[in-house]
Structure 1
Amino acid sequence: MRRKEVLMDFISDFLTKFVAQLQSPTLGFLIGGAVAAAVSSRLAIPDAIYKFIVFMLLIKVGLKGGIAIRESNITEILLPALFAVLTGILIVFIARHTLAKLPNIKVVDAIATGGLFGAVSGSTLAAGLAVLDAQGMEYEAWSAALYPFMDIPALVTAIVLASIYTSKQKKLAAENEYRSKQEFYGEQKEYGQQRITASGYPHEEQNHRVEIWPIIKDSLQGSALSALLLGLALGLLTRPESVYESFYEPLFRGLLSILMIVMGMEATARINELRKVAQWYAVYAFIAPLIHGFIAFGFGMIAHYATGFSAGGVVILAIIAASSSDISGPPTLRGGIPSANPSAYIGASTAVGTPVAIALGIPLFIGLGQAVMGG
């Protein structure tokens, strides 16, 4: 009986905190932008302004993280960083063995979708930090630096898996073509180390190798990650406290509210793209962010008990896992997996994944963190 009462108290406490999170202004602006686009409003925010806002938010987050890293024990970061890497890789494999198995889903499209959902959204991270600050929930400022530890491994894993799959398919197609030509002509020829291509001409077998460094380089050079890393470097190597407190910190919530309006409008616009591909993408994009967040939350709990990782830090790890890249990820995947359909993975991320991560993921994991750890 006592256990039942404890469980009911926990559920009641969690639901109360979850509902309270849904009333945050961050989510209100997101919904407002979605409604404005849905009613065909002529409201428009220039792309240059959007990119500037993202830059400002991420360099602010990076500055705060760099200052915190400078003042912290580097060993505290190792276990959460390892879990961030594992989460990013695991998310891609989950998509490969779930989404790719569903009807009318191409394997390369599923892998690219997993890569985008494993990568991190800087805007979702900024939104999560804003809500945590508003709730007074403490977290390690360096936890924002977990971003690249999850983002880059996810993108690299997706591109490598897609390349391996594509190479195997090409090899299989060439061998099938060779066998059909043999059967057609009734000939048995020795080709040594050669294969017959789809065009019917023999060539030396190629060693399909994936170059990892160019993928990492493209990720690091992406606008979102570059801004965050620049902020981290400045916070770590210089003394930017005065400009941070007088300029970046006061502007943060105002800029974030504009960003949420833009993202809400973008989500509504992308729904049309999502309709062009299998509806399973919408189902996946709704469920996956929450599952990914719970996986990261579990890893974060291990770090919490092992190293004292804060409740807020656990929540941030879950939030970035629930997010899907909206700035640097798409161009990286376009270049790395050119055979994948951008309407599938970008539509799934922007139209469904990001709104779910912000509107449900952030309040869910904050409420869970407060209920479980009393943060």
Structure 2
Amino acid sequence: MDFLFLFLKDFVIQLQSPTLGFLIGGMIIAALGSELVIPEAICTLIIFMLLTKIGLTGGIAIRNSNLLDMVLPMIFAIIVGVIIVFIARYTLAKLPKVKTVDAIATGGLFGAVSGSTMAAALTLLETQKIGYEAWAAALYPFMDIPALVTAIVVANIYLNKKKRGTASDATMQESYSKQPVAAGDYPSTRQEYRSQQQDTKDHRVKIWPIIQESLRGPALSAMLLGLALGILTKPESVYESFYNPLFRGLLSILMLVMGMEAWSRLGELRKVAQWYVAYSVVAPFVHGLIAFGLGMIAHYVTGFSLGGVVILAVIAASSSDISGPPTLRAGIPSANPSAYIGASTAIGTPVAIGLCIPFFIGLAQAIGGR
């Protein structure tokens, strides 16, 4: 009962917060056919400002904290990012009318992190005056990059196996139609073997370019820049006078844009299997609960705060809306963007922001005895 009360209280607070209010407002005006357009250049600047601020916060905290305290949460963040991809590979991919490669891409996007969802969680934690390690935001890349890399590698391995299987079937059928050769004379067999070996090398998945592509993405670049500046320099003056005061206002504008985009993506989601809708509602809670459980282990072992556990759970519940889509488009070009982007933006993000954030905050408060 305590948990239900706390969840409902936090849910009401979240409904009244500008974060979710602007998200819902964006969906409503898009549904009404509004022609409001926020220029892409402004959105890019807002994203840069928000994630640079989060990076600076984490960098400053890392500079002033014990690095050993960060090791276990970082390891858990990596594990969760990888697990989420395999959950999609062996659940969503098994459902009717769902293509395996689309399911893997969806898992990669849900395993990657939404900077805007994380920013919304940080804002609500501060509103509720729930303490957390400032460096907890730095867990972002430790979940984001492994998820994207795992998704692209798993998808390419699957596609290569499928391609080789198709080629083997064709070769076998062709061999049946040929006349038998003399004993000991196997020139075509050797040539085919060498060709298959070369084809395997040509299609081998290269992991480092995937990591480079992720690091060059606008979201991670901004966050890692802020992180590095926070660790290596002393940016407290510009942080307090410029980045921190603008944070919530800029976040509200981004939520408005995301709401409008979420509504537009609903049309794309109707074109693919309806199982994506069910997955997009259930998966954020499942992913978040896995991360919450691992976070509680870190809480009891290293003293990781309950607020930090919430952040770990929320970034696991989130799905990438900035860096993930272009990375997956390039890494898994055969996957259908209407499936994985529609599932993420139209349903996954509103569920993560509107339901998962108050859910995990309420769960942490119930455990903490508040």
- d(CA) in 1 for partners of 2:197 and 2:136? 51
1:277 to 265, 272, 286: 272
- d(CA) in 2 for partners of 1:150 and 1:49? 27
Q: Is 2:61 the partner of 1:68?
A: yes
- d(CA) in 2 for partners of 1:111 and 1:193? 35
1:42 shift after superposition: 1.5
CA RMSD of aligned residues (A): 1.9
1:160 to 138, 153, 165: 153
Contact preservation (8 Å) 2:58, 2:134: yes
1:25 shift after superposition: 2.3
Q: Is 2:29 the partner of 1:29?
A: no
- Identity score, percent: 67
Instruction: Tell me the residue number matched to 1:20.
Output: 13
Distance 1:315 1:206, change over 3 A: same
Q: Which amino acid aligns with 2:146?
A: P
1:204 shift after superposition: 4.9
2:164 to 168, 171, 192: 171
- d(CA) in 2 for partners of 1:205 and 1:336? 19
**Could you report, residue by residue, the CA deviation over 1:73-115 in whole angstroms, capped at 9, with x for unpaired residues?**
0000000000000000000000000010011111111111101
1:121 to 114, 117, 130: 114
Contact preservation (8 Å) 2:7, 2:358: no
Instruction: Tell me the residue number matched to 2:189.
Output: 192
Contact preservation (8 Å) 1:194, 1:205: no
Q: Which amino acid aligns with 2:47?
A: V
Distance 1:80 1:202, change over 3 A: closer
- d(CA) in 2 for partners of 1:48 and 1:205? 42
1:373 shift after superposition: 2.0
1:132 to 113, 125, 128: 125
Gaps of 5+ in 2: none
Instruction: Tell me the residue number matched to 2:40.
Output: 47
Distance 1:194 1:294, change over 3 A: farther
Give the TM-score, by structure 1 length. 0.93
1:182 shift after superposition: 2.5
- d(CA) in 1 for partners of 2:196 and 2:324? 37
- d(CA) in 2 for partners of 1:166 and 1:194? 23
**Could you report, residue by residue, the CA deviation over 1:25-75 in whole angstroms, capped at 9, with x for unpaired residues?**
211111111111011111211111111111100000111110000000000
Gaps of 5+ in 1: 1-7
Matched ranges for 1:364-375 at <5 A = 364-374=359-369
Contact preservation (8 Å) 1:194, 1:203: no
Matched ranges for 1:118-267 at <5 A = 118-185=111-178, 187=180, 190=186, 191-195=188-192, 204-207=198-201, 208-267=203-262
Q: Is 2:344 the partner of 1:363?
A: no
1:79 to 58, 68, 72: 72
Distance 1:184 1:82, change over 3 A: same
Instruction: Tell me the residue number matched to 1:311.
Output: 306
- d(CA) in 1 for partners of 2:69 and 2:134? 12
1:193 shift after superposition: 4.4
- d(CA) in 2 for partners of 1:59 and 1:348? 27
**Could you report, residue by residue, the CA deviation over 1:283-322 in whole angstroms, capped at 9, with x for unpaired residues?**
1111111111111111111100111100110000011001
Q: Is 2:301 the partner of 1:294?
A: no
Distance 1:66 1:282, change over 3 A: same
Instruction: Tell me the residue number matched to 1:268.
Output: 263
Distance 1:215 1:184, change over 3 A: same
- d(CA) in 2 for partners of 1:196 and 1:342? 36
Count of paired positions: 365
Q: Is 2:94 the partner of 1:101?
A: yes
Q: Which amino acid aligns with 1:226?
A: S
